[in-house]
Amino acid sequence: MRIAGCLVAVVTLFLAGGGFTLACWRGTRSILLAELLGLGWMVGAGIVSLLLVLGGLAFSGPVLLCGVTALCLLLGLVGARKIQRGLRVEIGYADARPWEKWLGLLLLFPIFYIGYASFRDAMVFDGLINWEAKARHAFLAGGSLPASYFTDATRAAYHPRYPLYLPFSELWIYLWAGDCDQTLVKILFPIFYAAAILLLWSSVVRLTGRVWAATLTSLLPIAVPLMADHGFGLVQGYADFPLAAMYLAGIGALLAWRLKGLEAGWGVAVICAALLPWIKQDGILLLASLLAVAALVHGSSQWRRFVIFALPGIAIALFWRLAMHWVHAAGEPGFQPVTAGTLAQNLPRFGTIVRFMGDRLSTPRIWSLLWYWVPVALISLGWRQRRLALWLSVAVFLPLVLDIPAYLFTALDLQFHLNTSFDRLALQISLVTVLCLGLALARPPSAEPPHSAQPAEGT
């Protein structure tokens, strides 16, 4: 029964996200199956977690479960109607050669490997006590976290203010399974990984039209230790990889809208931007970075459209901040007062922080050679497409720059804070760095040779 309940939870979550994505899809261009599956999962987790939070204010237990399930099914129906009305779902293989299609099968390997690793490794530290614990506590309390959870000063170190995207996705499994089954809940992690891989694949296909390049690019994360199962990441229940996937989806959709005229890309990017601060507090920095890229992409002539683009993300970030303020959530140990005096006092930390960042990003046992190739890829792209290279440079490096003030003002021991957090902050932008490499691989420096494949739909 537990497994059946878990499957229902997974399907309803996907129906909610897939239906919502289809409902928001604009224009005449078809949606790629990989986009639908990837966005369906990533957005579905956001919708279900938000519905559980809002529904939990008034309902609990079976009523909450049935209500949210009904809304998921309704969204699924709305999506199905959109397909009935003529929105096409394509595999994206229309112009692919047979060997490219077979190559796509290789993508099953990293997904199965992450599935194996998730069930092999324990959920530890943040994955357990910061994230999964929220799901467990909410399950034991009938489906929502009581205000006392947020105000309990003895648990302030477990970050009660962290948003509930991942924990309430786990809660959704618990509610359907009828128990806090910590083994069963790990089914989420390979699905998040698969969603990320599909979004990476579809972003490269959208932007270059080359299926083989998209497949090779999507295989790359499994070869980067921290993006696979080394250190603390997805398989240990951390939220940074889902955050990376959402950031990638937002950047990819925004670029597809601007460069390839994919009308629906704009709406998808808005949804992804909105969900960034709902996945993790650090998501606010990624939201700021995505908005910076969006500002460049929109240009001064489309500033009104840019304001609309920014509003949902800012609204969700503000909603959670105000909610935590209203419940008097326990403060988190962490930062010194942000004043000119503190800044002047801590300025000597700057060199240490930048050196540490450089050291870590260039450590092969963490990142292999990924970060060595990123500047090369950006220069290579800039050779022919300066704007694309500029936008991607902002998307990759601005989050790193925005991390620096957090370390300048940290109240923790600087070295300890850097050691325990920087790799994960870099992990949040890692999928966009892989996208840079994929675009560099797919784009030749000069005109195509006569026998190359034509770009697929959407390019």
Partner 1 sequence: MSTKAKFHLYRLFWLGAFATIVAVSAPTFGRPKSAVALEDFGRDGSVNSTLDQTLGEEKCAERITTWLEGLPPGRAILLVADANNNRAGVTADLIPYLAWPRPVIVSYDPQKAGREFAGARGRYCAVGFCYFMPPQGAPMSKSFGPALSFVAFDSQ
DSSP summary character for residue 184: G
The answer to the question of residue 370 lying near partner 1 (CB under 8 A) is: yes
The residue from 3, 91, 338, 369 that contacts partner 1 (CB under 8 A) is: 369
Residue 140 burial by Cβ neighbours in a 10 Å radius (0-12, 13-18, 19+) = exposed
- Distances 363 to 12, 225, 421 between C-alpha atoms, Å: 41, 11, 15
* 146 near partner 1, rule: CB under 8 A: yes
Q: Which of 90, 95, 152, 332 binds partner 1 (CB under 8 A)?
A: 152
362-234-440-254 Cα dihedral, nearest 10 degrees: -120
Least Å distance between CB 402 and partner 1?
25
Q: Is residue 332 close enough to count as binding partner 1 by CB under 8 A?
A: no
Tokens 């690019």 locate to 217
Helix or strand holding residue 2 (H, E): helix 2-24
- Residue nearer to partner 1 on the CB measure, 67 or 382: 382
Cβ atoms within 10 Å of 8's Cβ, excluding its own: 16
Q: Which CB sits closer to partner 1, 35 or 229? A: 229
416-424 contacts, C-beta under 8 A, 24 or more apart: 418/352, 418/353, 418/356, 422/356, 422/357, 422/360, 423/226, 423/231, 423/232, 423/360, 423/366, 424/232, 424/233, 424/238, 424/240
- What is 39-59 written as a DSSP string? HHHHHHHHHHHHHHHHHHTT-
Among 28, 84, 154, 301, binds partner 1 (CB under 8 A): 154
Q: What are phi and psi of 231, to 5 degrees?
A: 80, -160
Q: Report the nearest approach of partner 1 to the CB of residue 170 (Å).
A: 13
**Nearer residue to partner 1 within complex by CB, 70 or 369:** 369
CB of 356 to partner 1, least distance (A): 16
Q: Which is nearer to partner 1, 333 or 364 (CB)?
A: 364
Q: How many Cβ atoms sit within 10 Å of the Cβ of residue 116?
A: 13
Assess 368 for contact with partner 1 (CB under 8 A).
yes
Q: In terms of Cα–Cα distance, which of 85, 30, 90 is closest to 264?
A: 30
Taking alpha carbons only, the member of 195, 248, 220, 211 closest to residue 373 is 220
- Contact string (CB under 8 A) for partner 1, positions 38-77, x = contact: ----------------------------------------
Q: Which is nearer to partner 1, 300 or 446 (CB)?
A: 446
Of 2, 82, 161, 230, the one binding partner 1 by CB under 8 A: 230
Rounded to an integer, what distance in angstroms lies between the CA atom of residue 131 and that of residue 242? 13
Q: Is 362 in the site for partner 1 (CB under 8 A)?
A: no
Of 155, 161, 349, 417, which one interacts with partner 1 (CB under 8 A)?
Answer: 155
Our finding on whether 356 is near partner 1 (CB under 8 A) is no
3-class DSSP state for residue 32? strand
> Is 137 an interacting residue with respect to partner 1 (CB under 8 A)?
yes
Closest distance to partner 1 from the beta carbon of 52 (Å): 18
Which of the stretches 136-144, 251-259, 268-276, 296-304 binds partner 1 when contact is defined by CB under 8 A? 136-144
Of the candidates 28, 300, 301, 446, which one interacts with partner 1 according to CB under 8 A? Answer: 446
Q: Closest separation between CB of residue 117 and partner 1, Å?
A: 8
Residue 120 structure tokens? 């092999």
> Looking up tokens 């609309």, which residue turns up?
308
Determine if 86 is a binding residue for partner 1 (CB under 8 A).
no
Residue 380 to residue 186: CA distance in whole angstroms: 39
Q: How far apart are CA 10 and CA 43, in angstroms?
A: 13
Return the structure tokens found at 402: 């925005």
Q: Does 123 bind partner 1 (CB under 8 A)?
A: yes
Find the shortest distance in angstroms from Cβ 255 to partner 1: 19
Q: Which is nearer to partner 1, 251 or 366 (CB)?
A: 366
Binding partner 1 (rule: CB under 8 A), the pick from 183, 339, 345, 362 is: 183
Q: Which is nearer to partner 1, 246 or 361 (CB)?
A: 361
Distance from C-alpha of 428 to C-alpha of 432, rounded to nearest angstrom: 9
By CB under 8 A, tell whether 449 contacts partner 1: yes
- Using CB under 8 A as the criterion, which residues of the chain lie in contact with partner 1 when the complex forms? 113, 117, 119, 121-125, 128-129, 133, 136-137, 140-141, 146, 148-149, 152-155, 158, 182-183, 186, 216, 220, 223-225, 228-232, 364-365, 368-370, 373, 376, 380, 437, 440-441, 444-450, 452
